[in-house]
Structure 1
Amino acid sequence: MTPSLLLQRLWDDYTRRLCPSAQKVHDVLQEDEPLINDHIALRTFSLAPLGIQVLADPFLQLGYQERGDYRFDSKKLTAKHYEHPDPKQPKVFISQLEVGLCSDELQSIVTRLVEQIAAEKLTGYDFLCGGPLWEVSYQDYLTLSEESEYAAWLAAHGFGANHFTVSVNQLCRFETVKAVNDHLRQAGFVINESGGEVKGSPDVLLEQSSTMADSVPVLFSDGEHRIPGGFYEFALRYPMLNGQLYQGFVAASADKIFESTNKS
């Protein structure tokens, strides 16, 4: 396995199952050179045998290294990001819901889901883009969504990249994130405006935006329903004092990017 092959598997799963519109977004923004993927993002629960480290291990085996730590107190999330020595490889952002900080009802539902996981399913690379390792009812999905959109999304979709990210720095036709947003709106895409359509600023060395998630069908244990899936993000990075582009993430901005999968 190589980083490029794993990322291709994640992309194939993402465009097939979670965000079918991503290929159209990709085509709309494509220029002469292949688009650079700034980062991908994965979600998990904090309960054993899951957790950030379990999802990170396959990337660490491929040469990725741990970099930043982040907290999202209002959403009860923590996260880490990882970088590869080859700058052409995208960063990996892995977050987890701190289940122990949630209500007893949410903890009970998530515990029932996690208890269904066979330990051998968490080896290798395939589980990273294989969807849920459990069965969940639509009613449990709705119950989770009342407290945590993140928990509901993860319960329904399981593992996979909830977004890929176009590096705006490489684009020739667009110099700003706002220009990318305007172009995508004209092409019929809906932009996430939570916290403003452009999250961040040059002052924090990072600007981000995203589409709102696709509506995709999910087969629950009690029938099929359409719910929010994945989305596509856009990131513009600014140089630090040493002249190199900032490679981290800004928690206040990422907090609003999470809301790209909100039902509203």
Structure 2
Amino acid sequence: MNNLQSILNGLMRRYKERVPDVDKVINAMISEELIGHADEIENDHIAFRTMGVPHLGIQSLEKIFLHHGYVKKDYYYFEEKQLDAYWYAPPDPTLPRIFISELRVNDLSPATRHIIHSYTSEVTTDPVSQLNLDDPSAVDAFLHCGLWRIPAYEDFTALARESEYASWAIYNRYYLNHFTISVHNLKEGYNHISLFNQFLEKHGLVLNDAGGKFKKSPDGLLLQSSTVAGLIEAEFAGGEKHPIAGSYVEFAERRVLPGYRHLEPAMIRREHRREGFEAANANRIFESTYSSQTNKK
């Protein structure tokens, strides 16, 4: 197993431990014979949330994946949520794309900026630059460690009033925000997002309905849906415990590009399908961890 695969495996292992919906979805897929084993799932992409502050943010985290052969692609701006983002193409088409977003901290109110900086100022150099990126266990440990002190609950709630992205990131840090099941290669009856959503709801999964239960790009070629993040018991400073949003599962259908629709299904590969992301879709998918959605569970 190469170093990159070890890093990705470490991310998925801990993500599954924190997100019960992952096993719920996988077990449902096995029970209805969509797959025989979890390894058969095609992971469309994984996503991280970061803070746009000195020494951190996209410019820091992306170094891990660029080092291992990922290629930086399109930029996205989310005005409503004060976010920047990029996606990264993998060195091998069997590996997931990566989507990294960053909170535009300087766009927030002075009070919110003050709270964020009171934590992130503890990071005085870029932590990734000090990592041995060829040591997968070191990278795995870094992606699951605290970068700053455990937040106080009053700070968490104050951040949430202005940016639920900020409150999620101040507590969860670099924990994997979601992984994404590709549905277009599943068997007939499940290989379209609307059909797969029906399957998920039949098995008791609650879907993010911000902007509709599936989000569709203007070209009609990228359709996405997601579960609502489950609540985890978070321990804040002083041992205070409260339920907060954890991570979630996303689903994507990438339709065949017009120039390749003549191909037989067996001939269709990743390069024949819609690539990249869609800002309007992602804008609503972000809300899978927002209280407007998690309060429904």
What TM-score do the two structures reach when normalised by structure 2? 0.84
The answer on 1:232 being equivalent to 2:275 is no
Paired with 1:208 and 1:181, the residues of 2 have a C-alpha distance of 10
What residue in structure 1 maps to residue 266 of structure 2? none
SS at match of 1:74: coil
Q: Structure 1: 5+ residue runs without aligned partners?
A: none
CA distance in structure 1 between the partners assigned to 2:259 and 2:64 by the alignment: 32
Counterpart Cα distance in 2 of 1:47 and 1:242: 43
User: Secondary structure at 1:81's aligned position in 2?
Assistant: strand
Q: Indicate whether 1:15 and 2:30 are aligned.
A: no
The 3 A distance-change label for structure 1 pair 242 and 128 is farther
Q: Paired residue for 1:32?
A: 36
Question: Whole-Å Cα distance in 2 between the matches of residues 241 and 14 of structure 1?
Answer: 36
The Cα shift of 1:120 comes to: 7.2
Report the count of equivalent residues: 263
In structure 2, what is the equivalent of residue 75 of structure 1?
A: 81
Q: What is residue 55 of structure 2 aligned with on the other side?
A: 49
- 1:247 corresponds, among 271, 275, 293, to 275
Matches within 5 A, 1:145-224: 145-172=160-187, 173-201=189-217, 203-222=219-238, 223-224=240-241
Cα deviation for residue 118 of structure 1 reads: 5.9
Q: For 2:91, what is the secondary structure of its paired residue?
A: coil
Q: Which residue of 2 aligns with 1:112?
A: 118
Contact 2:85–2:101, Cα closer than 8 Å, also in 1:
yes
For 1:86, the aligned partner's letter is D
Which structure's CA Rg is the greater one? Answer: 2
CA distance in 2, matches of 1:2, 1:176: 34
**2:291 is paired with a residue of what secondary structure?**
coil
Sequence identity (%): 37
Identify the residue that residue 263 of structure 2 maps to in structure 1.
none
TM-align CA RMSD: 1.7
TM-score, normalised via structure 1 length: 0.94
Q: Aligned with 2:151: secondary structure? A: coil
Separation in structure 2 between the aligned mates of residue 115 and residue 68 of structure 1, nearest angstrom: 29
Distance 1:81 1:114 in 2: 24
Q: Which residue of the partner structure matches residue 140 of structure 1?
A: 155
* Structure 2 alignment gaps of length 5 or more: 134-138, 261-271, 293-297
Task: Please tell me the residue identity of whatever aligns with 1:6.
Answer: I
How far the C-alpha of 1:130 sits from its partner, in A, is: 2.9
Residues 72 and 255 in structure 1, CA contact (< 8 A), matched pair in contact too:
yes
Match of 1:94 in 2: 100
The answer as to whether partners of 1:237 and 1:246 remain within 8 angstroms in 2 is yes
Q: Shift of residue 115 of structure 1?
A: 1.5
Q: Deviations over 1:116-138 (max 9, x none)?
A: 23647433423223355332101
- CA apart distance, 1:76: 0.3
Match of 2:285 in 1: 257
Per the TM alignment, residue 188 of structure 1 is displaced from its structure 2 partner at its CA by: 1.1
Distance of 1:118 and 1:23 partners within structure 2:
38
Once the two structures are superposed, what CA deviation does each residue of 1:216-240 show, in whole Å capped at 9, x if it has no partner? 0111103111111100000000122
Deviations 1:60-116 (A, max 9, x none): 111100011101000000000001131000000000000000000110011011112
For the Cα contact (< 8 Å) 2:55–2:124, is it kept in 1? no
Asked whether the equivalents of residues 46 and 52 of structure 1 are also in contact (C-alpha less than 8 Å), the reply is yes
The answer for the alignment partner of 1:5 in structure 2 is 6
**Aligned mates of 1:185, 1:16 — CA distance in 2:** 22
Q: Distance in 2 between matches of 1:216 and 1:162?
A: 13
